[in-house]
Chains A and B, each alone.
Chain A
Amino acid sequence: MAVIRDVMPAFDLLQPSSIADAQKLLQQQGSDGWVLAGGMDSFDWLKDRIKKPKVVVDLSGIAELKGIRSTAEGIEIGAMTTLTEVVEHPLIKEKFKLLADGAELVASPQIRNQGTIGGNVSQDARCWYYRAGWPCYRAGGNICYADTPEGRNREHAILHAERCVAVNPSDTAPALIALDAKFVIRTPKGERIIDAEDYFIGPDIDITSLHILQPGDLLTAVRVPSTWAGAHFYFEKVRDRNVWDFPLLNVASAMIVSGNNIERIRIAVNGAAARPLRLRAVEDAVRGRPANAATGEMAGKLAVQGAVPLQFNAYKIPLMRNLVKRAIGGVEEATWTS
């Protein structure tokens, strides 16, 4: 008999209308509570009956969490702002096009209309086995099914893997890291502002979560400072199809160039590890050098040092190398003889 997979298990649905109420409810529920933003990640877990929370706290009625506003330092984006709103907002298109480009490559138009930026950066890994509910490390067990000679690991990590080899699937995350964004989190102990790159964690810190939110925490906003507004941006996402699919790999960079030399740069890659990687060594190595293919080649090789391929994901090494090269040196027509 076929296993029925499309009926969500029953849960209590709580729909607060303010951040304060949401916080109260989340703190009450603790680890029994599930935060629901756009639902694009949550519904997969619920419909497949892998996760069965007792209580779902739906944030969609909280107006304070939505909207994009100018601030003295730059812009602030409410965590429940949809990706479509991020893509279409004039301020983001004008000054922070890197984020608009990254957000526009997420999934599909329908998903972007419903999915939120807070959800996109907080989304969970898409490893086949983890998503199918197998009892792996990330699910609290003590085995990894992907990191084996036969495991289906084409989409998995080449860097910083530690027991778990799943990757972070977000397209907005590396763009936000490149823009030096800050994430605003309300916790039971008060508000915290943290750098984007510190929001994401690898298995060495917590193997069961891709981000630092604890039960009771709420990501309320993303702040993008004006520091990199109008810089030379590069975003590229490589995936199997031309829509819907998660990145096999993506790259986001913001570069200030004077003359033809790189004054400063922030560059991040996702899909290579369990967290989006800010490539500090590359940033240091290219500072002061010309923004050309030669610098790009050097940077690319540096970026993949230490990469460890699994059975089916060795392609990510040349891919990451080439994406970093392009971010710095641009895209050129290749010479090719067959």
Chain B
Amino acid sequence: MGGTIGFDGILIIKPDGRVSILSGIGNLGTESVIDVHRVAAEVLGVPWEKCDITWGDSSKNLPFTCVSGGSQTTHAMTRAAHATAMDARNKLQELAAKKLGGKPESYDVANERVSRKGGGAGMTLAQAAKYAIQVGGIYDGHEVSPDLNKVTKASVAAIAGQGLIAAAKDKYPRDGATFSYVASFAEVEVDIETGKYHIVDFLASADVGSVIHPRALGGQVLGRSILGIGHAIGQKWVFDPRYGAMLSTRFSQSKPPTILDVPVNMQWAALDIPDPETPVGARGVGEPPVGGGCASILNALSDALGDEIFRRAPVNADTILTSLEAGRPMQHPLMAHI
């Protein structure tokens, strides 16, 4: 699922010069709903503070968007946002050429204006928006590109005439498949008399292409590492095999990690190497830190205790002490849900 492409974007340059961006991304708290659209401000030469994001309700005329899952959002929707911003840029150039003469390519978009390269005639984005409404057609949403998804077309139809409307599908090429990677490192200290251990140090290093929003990325990498760590340190189902009954029916019984189980020393890093197969260079993340979170703890425990103590997660005092006491692995290798 990660690495999807081909979604749409919509933005409006309003007659007051502000840029209204319609975001169809679900807000899980990852901040992707907002941060993927940053590229619009860059491409259009508009300060980020002048961009308004509308999100959160499909009645708000939003474009066709990927699902919020499968580590795909940042990749798919930065592509769509870039395509939409480029559509806006092209329309600005065309409108400028139409009004002021010359070819569209001889105009530049920067500093909230579209103006002749090398200085000369131009207009503000606010003026361009008003002109777009005058011209109509494809410039203010009364006509749309046929390759847009029908959801996007319906949304554009509902907002036609509000300004210069850009609506585009991500048609950028992509050679191969798209994946993100996380390398995780952990140090543990084991109390061999009680079988309790704690995580002394932890680092997860992510290769997710260009970093769009450092704090949000850090939240994803550390947060999802905790999910993986949880699987190593105690999260489980408890299941009675004779009667086929689930015994752990509440969170307190399936033991997800708590804030006091989070390593005190926990760091993240990112390579920030742009992905060459996508215009903004950014890939998604979400799932990748989980496996590393779990495996790094288990590897650290193996390094501390030897390879003959456990064969499955979670690893708790019972597993450690029983094997240490017996001098050989005591946990039945294929038995889980205890």
B177 contacts the other chain (Cβ, under 8 Å)?
Answer: no
Contact B257 A241 (CB under 8 A): yes
Contact B260 A238 (CB under 8 A): no
Interface string of A295-338 (1 = CB under 8 A from B): 00000000000000000111101110011011000010010101
> Closest residue to B306 on the A side, CB-wise?
A338
Contact B261 A319 (CB under 8 A): no
Also in contact, A319 and B255, with CB within 8 A (given A132-B249, A241-B261, A312-B318) = no
Complex formed: what's the CA distance from A151 to B247 in Å? Answer: 11
Contact A319 B195 (CB under 8 A): yes
Residues of chain B lying within 8 A (CB to CB) of residue A151:
240, 242
Residues of chain A lying within 8 A (CB to CB) of residue B258:
108, 241-244
Residues of chain A lying within 8 A (CB to CB) of residue B245:
132
Residues of chain A lying within 8 A (CB to CB) of residue B241:
150
Write the nearest CB–CB distance from B202 to chain A, whole angstroms.
Answer: 15
Residues of chain A lying within 8 A (CB to CB) of residue B338:
152, 154, 312
B216 contacts the other chain (Cβ, under 8 Å)?
Answer: no
Write the nearest CB–CB distance from A71 to chain B, whole angstroms.
Answer: 36
Q: In A131-167, which residues have CB < 8 Å from any B CB?
A: 132, 145, 148, 150-152, 154
Which of B240, B242, B260 has the largest number of chain A CB atoms within 10 A?
A: B240
B304 contacts the other chain (Cβ, under 8 Å)?
Answer: yes
Contact A152 B193 (CB under 8 A): no
B316 contacts the other chain (Cβ, under 8 Å)?
Answer: yes
B330 contacts the other chain (Cβ, under 8 Å)?
Answer: yes
Contact B192 A326 (CB under 8 A): no
Contact A244 B316 (CB under 8 A): no
Contact B260 A318 (CB under 8 A): no
Q: In B231-254, which residues have CB < 8 Å from any A CB?
A: 233-234, 238-243, 245, 247-249, 252-253
Contact A338 B304 (CB under 8 A): yes
Which of A248, A318, A326 has the largest number of chain B CB atoms within 10 A?
A: A318
Contact B324 A243 (CB under 8 A): no
Residues of chain B lying within 8 A (CB to CB) of residue A336:
192
> Closest residue to A248 on the B side, CB-wise?
B317
Complex formed: what's the CA distance from A244 to B253 in Å? Answer: 10
Complex formed: what's the CA distance from A243 to B233 in Å? Answer: 13
Contact A338 B305 (CB under 8 A): yes
B53 contacts the other chain (Cβ, under 8 Å)?
Answer: no
B124 contacts the other chain (Cβ, under 8 Å)?
Answer: no
Contact B195 A315 (CB under 8 A): yes
B38 contacts the other chain (Cβ, under 8 Å)?
Answer: no
Task: Name B238's contact: one of A128, A313, A314, A317 (CB within 8 Å).
Answer: A128
A5 contacts the other chain (Cβ, under 8 Å)?
Answer: yes
Contact A152 B238 (CB under 8 A): yes
Write the nearest CB–CB distance from A51 to chain B, whole angstroms.
Answer: 16
Which of A129, A240, A317, A331 has the largest number of chain B CB atoms within 10 A?
A: A240
Contact A238 B317 (CB under 8 A): yes
Complex formed: what's the CA distance from A139 to B304 in Å? Answer: 43
Complex formed: what's the CA distance from A315 to B319 in Å? Answer: 8
Task: Name A243's contact: one of B239, B253, B260, B330 (CB within 8 Å).
Answer: B260
Contact A319 B249 (CB under 8 A): no
Contact A238 B195 (CB under 8 A): yes
Write the nearest CB–CB distance from B228 to chain A, whole angstroms.
Answer: 16
Write the nearest CB–CB distance from A41 to chain B, whole angstroms.
Answer: 12
Contact B194 A322 (CB under 8 A): yes
Complex formed: what's the CA distance from A129 to B255 in Å? Answer: 18
Residues of chain B whose beta carbon lies under 8 Å from any beta carbon of chain A: 192-196, 233-234, 238-243, 245, 247-249, 252-253, 255, 257-261, 303-306, 316-322, 324-325, 330, 338
Could you pull out 13 A-B pairs where Cβ atoms are within 8 angstroms? A129-B247, A132-B247, A241-B234, A241-B258, A243-B259, A314-B330, A315-B318, A315-B321, A318-B321, A319-B194, A319-B195, A319-B321, A322-B193
Known contacts A248-B318, A315-B320, A322-B194; 17 further A-B pairs (Cβ under 8 A): A128-B240, A132-B247, A148-B242, A150-B241, A152-B239, A152-B338, A238-B194, A240-B255, A240-B316, A240-B317, A241-B258, A243-B258, A245-B255, A315-B195, A315-B322, A319-B321, A338-B303
